[in-house]
Amino acid sequence: MSVAVAATLAVFLAFLLVSPVQVLNLALGVWFTQLFVFLGGGWLVLSATGRAPARYTGLSTWSVGSAAFGFALGVANFFGIIAPVQYLAQFVLPASWNDYDVSGIFLGHSPVELALIVAGLGIGAPLCEEFFFRGVFFRGLLSRGGPPWRALFFSAALFSAFHLDRMGFVSRLELGLLFGWLLWRTGSLWPGILAHAANNLVSTALFFSAQHLEPAQTPSPGDEGRMVVLLALGGCAVLLGLLSAARRFPGLLGGPLRPAEEREAPEPPVHLEPPARLLRRAFPGMMAATLVLGAYVVLDPVGIELSQVDLRYPLAPVPEEAPDALHAERNALYELRVRARRGETPVGAYAQERRRQSRQSGGGRPPVLPAPNLPPSKESP
């Protein structure tokens, strides 16, 4: 068994165990999953097999230049590749594949929860996911031999699949390829972490910017398409410029390309510690996770009750082409949740409105929009 297989099994089992935390509270769930599953699970497997986690994953290798280059590459890649791919996916793929309601991630939360979610996306996810998917899984596959592109592709595919978003699978696959290439090229995890952070922060900033647009300022579909094309052209130009600069100045990528035997050095098979010693090694993390969950249950009963309401009455994302009244209704629901969170409104009032909108949207299925008013055809009576 290789490190990649052992770590994947450990993280998958841990993910199944802690997935209910995402239901209890999204802000807590984001950090809980990142720290105790991706970072903790990967760290446990590496340390239990006699490896130094920070050195093995490239976390201990740091260069300001390559880290800054990774951040710039992440921004350019978002506009040049990710944004147009996501935009096209809306037209090419079925609407039922839209598994993510982005507004549900950011809206309807208290200021503290919102800050934790944004920090989790901008700091926690880049650090912990890169540690596992690139530092542990990709490095583990790479050390087994074979062409590097194979390890790069499989690690990127696993990274994308873990997000459970069919509409965004291709774009996250591309991100996984980029982050993996940065680790393979530089030997450091930090350029990929910074590129990952840049991607998440830019998309988050764009979402909040769009929330402040008045209906009259919202671009039409035609204007939106032209804007995406212009941004894609500019992003691709910057992306090519950065890659060209890295070829001319290898220091941007941490120096010249390292020898293949150093980048893809084979490793001995995994020999896990005896179960008793492994349990002792995992015990501090398990206790910390238990204390965090216990403290949350005691300190936030209202949040748990609201999360149960959300789970009981799922909502489908409101399509962009839906009437303004439908968007306003959904935003009012999120505001009602915030008031219930503060204790200004009974949770029952929020539950009643949530149930009504859930039924209106088909219990989590995309809502049926009214047919557009078309002029009658000549054949119609």
Please write the tens of the pLDDT for every residue from 336-371: 999 998 889 999 999 999 999 998 877 655 444 333
Task: Classify residue 345 by burial, with Cβ atoms within 10 Å: 0-12, 13-18, 19+.
Answer: middle
94-131 residue pLDDT tens = 877 876 767 678 888 888 889 999 999 999 999 999 99
Confidence of residue 9 (pLDDT cuts 50, 70, 90): confident
In this structure, of 195-204, 258-267, 370-379, the range with the lowest mean pLDDT score is: 370-379
Where residue 14 falls among pLDDT bands split at 50, 70, 90? Answer: confident
pLDDT band of 239, cuts 50, 70, 90: very high
DSSP string spanning 76-127? HHIIIIIHHHHHHHHHHS-GGG----HHHHHSS--HHHHHHHHHIIIIIHHH
Amino acid 268: pLDDT: 65
pLDDT band at 377 (very low <50, low <70, confident <90, very high): very low
**220 vs 239 pLDDT, higher one:** 239
Residue 92 pLDDT more than 70? yes
Considering the entire predicted model, what is its pTM?
A: 0.86
Task: Measure the CA–CA gap between 220 and 133, rounded to whole angstroms.
Answer: 39
pLDDT computed for residue 370 by the predictor: 39
